Amino acid sequence: MLKTKLYALAVAIPFALSSAPTQASDVESALANICSIVVADDKSELRKKIKGVRSSFRLQLKDYYTGIKCNGNSMIREAALNNAIEAGTLLVKKMPKKDLETPEEDGKTLQAWLTEQGLADNPIAVALQERI
């Protein structure tokens, strides 16, 4: 019985490891145009993209948000810079509060960055302030 389980485990591990790179490239291709969706302010397409990644790969927005850069900015920053109100507020609503308060790569929180950029009265900044 124990030998059978060990054998099954030994056979399963290489298959699990060999599928990991494929899944990573599948996730990358699924998220390939998310920046253009955000910049275009296409809320329905963004919602479909987030839902599709969640159902296909079991990933929440918070799992891949920090890994995606749009012109060197996070998706919410890029939405604010491009006045993509619908997409930006959707992202603010979908992200956990804790992650919205966490400093990004440059050490600034979203709120501090928006204020610094003169975007404190932007609807995305208002939604962020209400959420935090």
The string of pLDDT tens digits covering residues 44-76 is: 998 998 898 888 888 888 888 888 888 888 888
Q: What is the pTM of this model?
A: 0.73
pLDDT average, residue stretch 10-14: 46
In a domain, 103, yes or no: yes
Asked if residue 95 lies in contact with residue 54, where contact means CB atoms within 8 angstroms, the answer is no
Q: Residue 64's domain is classified under what CATH number?
A: 1.25.40
pLDDT band at 1 (very low <50, low <70, confident <90, very high): low
How many domains does the chain fold into? 1
| pLDDT surpasses 70 at 124 | yes
In a domain, 40, yes or no: yes
- Per-residue burial over 64-93, b if 16 or more Cβ lie within 10 Å, else e, is bbeebebeebbbbbbbbbbebbbbbbbbbe
In a domain, 14, yes or no: no
Write out the residue range of the structural domain in which residue 100 sits: 31-131
